[in-house]
Structure 1
């Protein structure tokens, strides 16, 4: 069974983790850790599950993930090579007195966030270079570099909170990992609740409650969001017709696909494609 509580190695002369991970170390299933995390997707794309959020990730994305928020970055295909810059720090790293200073109010609010956030850094010219160079810093520069990064993120009004609420319960036995892996492998088929309940060795009613507790979503709602996230990726290719896409995402008819796409994205698949390719 793969570990669900991830612990990255920290150098003995550093108080927090700042490193680059590449395939296969990138492939960590549904997991959590007490450390807050800043994660920059240097190379790769796929589906991100962060708390109750399901959506795409791609090269250039920058995320902030609060302490103990479960997450999984599932690459699009098994043979895809992915590289990510990771910063992990214990929220208590700064000590109660320091983090309580009035000058730290903005950073304190960020550090105490128990949700997931997409960081829009295009207007912050110094943020990404700081994230990329932090690993090479030592001594005071290392901790000061982290503070500068957190200060820039906390001051940015363009950040997008992508989770709706914290997940305060978590499957410690790894059952949810097997369930999610099965969904990722079969979302384009007609998955039945009973199939997943059998994997979890639960009754259908118990599994329904278990799934909701660990994802904050219903079984059917989660599969819908996985399918729509895959559709969004396919819609970026102008050579693929919408009539092809709905089949590849597990829908039996285009009207149901259009309806569910609009429920999730607020617009139709055709409108979504138009937005992407708008000159």
Structure 2
């Protein structure tokens, strides 16, 4: 799996990266970078792992990912075509004196936030227009547009904080990437912790500590979230019965599936489906 969005090269005439990708190959490994990132999903869908968050991404989603927050985006289907706009900037481009101006206090807080946000831009279609045109701007307009975006993000009250903790450790050898890939390929099967630990070439106890250190969650908890996220996608299909769906998500009986689903989502699969169909 080759990374497409990691640390991206910027043009000599620009202080930060603003670019777009339109490709069926959109997948990123478990990675992080010092740059803050704004990511707009224009087309496509899949699963996002950002820090300790596991959930869906779909067309129209707008994410703000703080410096050094590890993340991984994965398509759900081979044929899915993704179009994304990526903005990456190092907070150092603003300098400490400028950021410490009282008028920029909220922006300063935002760009020093080591967490990730889902940005609510309802009623602000001009915001997305600014994001999409940014790569074709230059000079003051290029930097000024970024400042306007950051200001808008910093004052909005309906943004959703996705990550609970900043992850200080990082797996430089790519083991987590292998584990995530294996989990996505086999989550519908009866995965044993011993098998996953063997991929990492560790004992079960060492693997438990290693995974928790790098993701802030247990492997069993992560696997449950992947399975339930898949169940949420399947529940949108009116032609599938709940009795069919739990098998597709790696559960052997519907009672356990209902219990695990409620533990993650706070409601049963049937109620979750009813809410989707009513919306």
**Cα offset, 1:26, TM superposition:** 2.3
1:42–1:174 Cα change, 3 Å: same
In the alignment, structure 1 residue 171 sits paired with structure 2 residue 171 = yes
Aligned residue number for residue 214 of structure 2: 214
Could you report, residue by residue, the CA deviation over 1:50-109 in whole angstroms, capped at 9, with x for unpaired residues? 000001111110000000100011111123211111010012110000011100001011
**Cα offset, 1:6, TM superposition:** 2.6
**Cα offset, 1:270, TM superposition:** 1.1
Partners of 1:55 and 1:32 in 2: CA distance: 18
Aligned residue number for residue 229 of structure 2: 229
- Structure 1: runs of 5+ lacking an equivalent: none
1:48 touches 1:55 (CA, 8 Å); kept in 2?
A: yes
TM-score by length of 1: 0.96
1:224–1:262 Cα change, 3 Å: same
Partners of 1:22 and 1:33 in 2: CA distance: 22
Aligned residue number for residue 50 of structure 2: 50
1:229–1:155 Cα change, 3 Å: same
Aligned residue number for residue 264 of structure 1: 264
Aligned residue number for residue 38 of structure 2: 38
**Cα offset, 1:4, TM superposition:** 11
Secondary structure of 1:131's aligned partner: helix
Secondary structure of 2:92's aligned partner: coil
**Cα offset, 1:2, TM superposition:** 5.4
Could you report, residue by residue, the CA deviation over 1:96-131 in whole angstroms, capped at 9, with x for unpaired residues? 000111000010111011011111111334211111
Partners of 2:88 and 2:82 in 1: CA distance: 18
Secondary structure of 1:126's aligned partner: helix
- Structure 2: runs of 5+ lacking an equivalent: none
Aligned residue number for residue 15 of structure 2: 15
**Cα offset, 1:242, TM superposition:** 1.0
Query: What RMSD over aligned residues (CA atoms) do the two structures have, in Å?
Result: 1.5
Q: Which runs of 4+ in 1 moved over 4 A?
A: 1-5
Partners of 1:178 and 1:23 in 2: CA distance: 23
Aligned residue number for residue 277 of structure 1: 277
After alignment, is 17-26 or 49-58 more displaced? Answer: 17-26
Partners of 1:4 and 1:70 in 2: CA distance: 15
Aligned length: 279
Aligned residue number for residue 105 of structure 1: 105
1:46 touches 1:58 (CA, 8 Å); kept in 2?
A: yes
Partners of 1:186 and 1:29 in 2: CA distance: 17
Aligned residue number for residue 193 of structure 1: 193
1:35 touches 1:88 (CA, 8 Å); kept in 2?
A: yes
Could you report, residue by residue, the CA deviation over 1:139-184 in whole angstroms, capped at 9, with x for unpaired residues? 1100000000001111111100011111110001111111110001
1:4 touches 1:32 (CA, 8 Å); kept in 2?
A: no
Could you report, residue by residue, the CA deviation over 1:226-272 in whole angstroms, capped at 9, with x for unpaired residues? 00111111111111111111110000011111111111111111111
**Cα offset, 1:274, TM superposition:** 1.3
2:4 touches 2:26 (CA, 8 Å); kept in 1?
A: no
Partners of 2:203 and 2:253 in 1: CA distance: 31
